[in-house]
Structure 1
Amino acid sequence: MSIDRLLPALLECFGIILCGYIAGRANIITSTQAKGLGSFVSKFALPALLFKNMVLLDFGNVIWPFLWSILIAKVCVFFLVCILTLIVASPVSRYSKAGLFSIFATQSNDFALGYPIEALYQSTYPEYLQYIYLVAPVSLMFLNPIGFALCEIQKWVIKNPIVFMVVIGIIAHFVLDQTVPVFMAQFVDGLANSFGGAALFYLGLSMVGQLGKLTKSTVVTLILLTTAKLLMPLICKDMVDLLDKRNTSDLNHSSLSDYAFLYGVFPTAPSVAIYAVYYNAELEVVTAGMVISTFLSAPIMYVSAWLLTFRWTDPQRLMNSLQNVSFNISIVSLVALVWTIAVMFLSKKFKRLPHLFTVNLFCAQVLTCIGMILWNFVVKENNFIGQVLTFTLLCTSLYSTFIWPGTHTTIYHSKPTLN
């Protein structure tokens, strides 16, 4: 696992998503134009990418227990969500909610956000990359039809270009002897290569204004769905550990189960929001959940990849890696905090309660980030006074971040008594 390539890959993916979000937020690209880009991505670029990879796929290197493990994991989560929704939902919309929420929990955004995993395993286990194109159709061909049946729909699978091109690609794989014909190779490559950036940009566009639709009545439902979504990586990893009985080394077996865990972290695909619009059911929950799961997937994937490598890492290298992670996170957090504090001051909210305490908490967090950034440089030098001063700044500001929330809560709850 090439962990050093993960952060650049995540920054590339989510940087393009952020560009799409800014373009939509600033109305540089209108909603009509965004729909056109979405149609190109889903009906031309992605089918071409699937056709190319299905033709070139080497079935001889496929580890079938891995595929069965992912299928079982998705089936477990699908029916868990389905049964719980049927039990707790109101009778009026019980079945449509069960179908839609089950699809939400199992249909992940494999193709657009698969690049970080590709960067992790490209140099060590390049054969793992083909599983994204084999696993993704599982939801589309087996689980989604069940959800659509609950939503009273019959023809989605036949009309879906993704499923259609997977089937055509597998047929062409055997007919064309695992080779794309020369006369159509460049055409297919052109469409397939356009998918990555366009899909991520469209994902950012589709997030604009979605969190504003979230209401208090849908928060509990969203929390339950997010919990079910977080179960997916754990079940995927456990299923691979149970079903993969090949006579391989512990390192190979562990790397495959780790790959299954990272695959389970993938967020919900934007197409689920289209289903919600079509059925006019729980649009606020699905769209807000898609945004939250997408942005949560980046830190979860980053931290999970580091934790999965701890067993095989030299202790000194591990300490250096943890130092680098703290340094990188502090830089990102510092930028976000400076932006937030600037907004608080420009809007003059810092003069009112409870924003006054919130600004103090943000300032303490800024000092913590500065202390962590300085520590990255001071620890490498033999400067005792500099290390003591930096450590004092870091500890003081860190404990200050613990005190301010308590102060905020105490003042907030004692305010009626004071009045």
Structure 2
Amino acid sequence: MSSHSRPMSAVIEVVLPVFGIILAGFLCGWRRLLGEDSSRALNGFVFYVALPALFFLAMARLELDDPSLVPFTLTLTGAMVIPFAFIVVLARQFLGYRLGEVSMHGLSGVFANTGYMGIPLLLTAYGEPGVLPGVVATVFNGAVVIGLGTAVMEIHRSEKSGFLPLFKTAGGGLARNPLVLSAVAGLVVGQLKIPLPAALVTFCEILGGAVGPCALFAMGLFLVGRSVTRGALEVAWLTIVKLLISPLIAWVLAFHVFDMDPLWAASSVILSALPLGALVFILAQQYEIYVQRATAVILVSTLCSVVTLSIVMNYLGVD
């Protein structure tokens, strides 16, 4: 087996279950086994129950003393912020989207599936040492990026109410948001070294483990009767940004700007090259903004990533 086919085989092994869960949700929706509003109900479970448990435990366990953590996080941030800004400007200029649509359009071009695909790939590529960068990226993506995205959605929801009422309403919504509250609570617990009861840890682990499968299954339910080809040019553009431009920026930052451990540097490029994560769908459906486009980008980018991720991993010398 060639060195190129080994990374592709590893990627396929991770991608196939992703499509399998989406297909299972689609078939259940197509056969009307779970009721008309099952996708929204499952989405609500992820947003209000499973994700907060995942965020709380992940933030409570986060170690902040690794010397590669800061340059690694800056690399991931740059690989998201730079293309995000470019995407947002184009969306506002040529598509005329409002704040909520612009933000979801931008997220759909930069948010990576670090948890459900990134961690398994890094584990396959580098063994146990590869897990930590994947976990850090997943916490960063989930708690920070989705937290900021939620803040923007709250502002969008309140933007017609005037300047001062806007910030009052948006701030109140953000202060009550379960994702933000759970992440902040976990960070406080972790930094104060407060021991967590074993039962609470198990509770959070079980619920947190449901996030990926439930989000993908809900996406499959949502797809019933909807087109994934509408807005094909927009979907193609966002897929190119996600799979090609974002990892290229990460490569420049990781290997030519910042100084970090080679494993962390390579991991940052692989994680930036991942397809769009399902949490963007969860956020889009929760606020009923950009749902169809986000779903299409997730499907298309996941399919195309079999080739692009294999090339990236082969270039980085992953056997």
How do residues 9-28 of structure 1 correspond to structure 2 at under 5 angstroms? 9-28=14-33
2:121 aligns to what? 117
Amino acid aligned to 2:103: G
Alpha-carbon distance, 1:173 to partner: 0.5
1:266 aligns to what? 274
Alpha-carbon distance, 1:159 to partner: 4.1
d(CA) in 2 for partners of 1:306, 1:272: 28
2:213 aligns to what? 197
**Cα gap change, 1:277/1:34 in structure 2, threshold over 3 Å: closer, same or farther?**
closer
| Structure 2 SS opposite 1:259 | helix
2:202 aligns to what? 186
Which string of whole-angstrom CA distances, capped at 9 and with x for unpartnered residues, describes residues 173-228 of structure 1?
02334x42234233223323333433333343334344x2644xx33333333332
1:306 aligns to what? 314
Alpha-carbon distance, 1:245 to partner: 1.8
2:190 aligns to what? 173
The question of 1:219 aligning with 2:232 is answered yes
**Cα gap change, 1:157/1:292 in structure 2, threshold over 3 Å: closer, same or farther?**
farther
For the 8 Å contact 1:109–1:269, the answer to whether it is kept is yes
Alpha-carbon distance, 1:64 to partner: 0.9
Which string of whole-angstrom CA distances, capped at 9 and with x for unpartnered residues, describes residues 123-170 of structure 1?
343322321233213323446645765673735643432232111111
Which string of whole-angstrom CA distances, capped at 9 and with x for unpartnered residues, describes residues 337-357 of structure 1?
xxxxxxxxxxxxxxxxxxxxx
d(CA) in 1 for partners of 2:212, 2:292: 27
2:138 aligns to what? 133
d(CA) in 1 for partners of 2:284, 2:208: 28
d(CA) in 2 for partners of 1:135, 1:41: 18
Amino acid aligned to 1:86: R
Which structure 2 residue ranges, 5 or more long, are not aligned?
Answer: 1-5, 160-165
Q: Which of the numbers 35, 44, 49 marks the counterpart of 2:40?
A: 35
For the 8 Å contact 2:270–2:312, the answer to whether it is kept is yes
- Provide TM-score, normalisation by structure 2: 0.77
Larger radius of gyration: 1
Q: Which of the numbers 201, 217, 224 marks the counterpart of 1:208?
A: 224
1:89 aligns to what? 95
For the 8 Å contact 1:5–1:119, the answer to whether it is kept is no
For the 8 Å contact 2:62–2:190, the answer to whether it is kept is yes
d(CA) in 1 for partners of 2:99, 2:58: 36
Which of the pair has the greater relative contact order for Cα pairs under 8 Å at 6+ separation? 2
For the 8 Å contact 2:10–2:121, the answer to whether it is kept is no
Deviates more, 1:266-275 or 1:185-194: 266-275
d(CA) in 2 for partners of 1:21, 1:71: 34
Which string of whole-angstrom CA distances, capped at 9 and with x for unpartnered residues, describes residues 37-92 of structure 1?
222222212221222222222222252101011112211111101112233234xx
d(CA) in 2 for partners of 1:278, 1:53: 22
| Structure 1 SS opposite 2:276 | coil
For the 8 Å contact 1:103–1:144, the answer to whether it is kept is no
How do residues 272-311 of structure 1 correspond to structure 2 at under 5 angstroms? 272-273=280-281, 283-309=291-317
Alpha-carbon distance, 1:233 to partner: 1.6
> How many equivalent pairs are there?
298
2:249 aligns to what? 235
| Structure 2 SS opposite 1:34 | helix
d(CA) in 2 for partners of 1:239, 1:112: 24
For the 8 Å contact 1:214–1:284, the answer to whether it is kept is no
d(CA) in 2 for partners of 1:165, 1:240: 30
d(CA) in 2 for partners of 1:21, 1:201: 8
Deviates more, 1:30-39 or 1:76-85: 30-39
Q: Which of the numbers 181, 201, 206 marks the counterpart of 1:164?
A: 181
| Structure 2 SS opposite 1:113 | helix
For the 8 Å contact 1:6–1:302, the answer to whether it is kept is yes
Alpha-carbon distance, 1:259 to partner: 1.3
**Cα gap change, 1:6/1:37 in structure 2, threshold over 3 Å: closer, same or farther?**
same
Amino acid aligned to 1:101: H
**Cα gap change, 1:56/1:222 in structure 2, threshold over 3 Å: closer, same or farther?**
closer
Amino acid aligned to 2:200: M
Report percent identity of matched pairs.
22
d(CA) in 1 for partners of 2:293, 2:133: 33
Q: CA RMSD in A?
A: 3.3
**Cα gap change, 1:265/1:18 in structure 2, threshold over 3 Å: closer, same or farther?**
farther
For the 8 Å contact 1:273–1:287, the answer to whether it is kept is yes
Amino acid aligned to 1:117: L
| Structure 2 SS opposite 1:29 | coil
The question of 1:8 aligning with 2:13 is answered yes
For the 8 Å contact 2:100–2:289, the answer to whether it is kept is yes
- Provide TM-score, normalisation by structure 1: 0.61
2:80 aligns to what? 74
Alpha-carbon distance, 1:242 to partner: 3.2
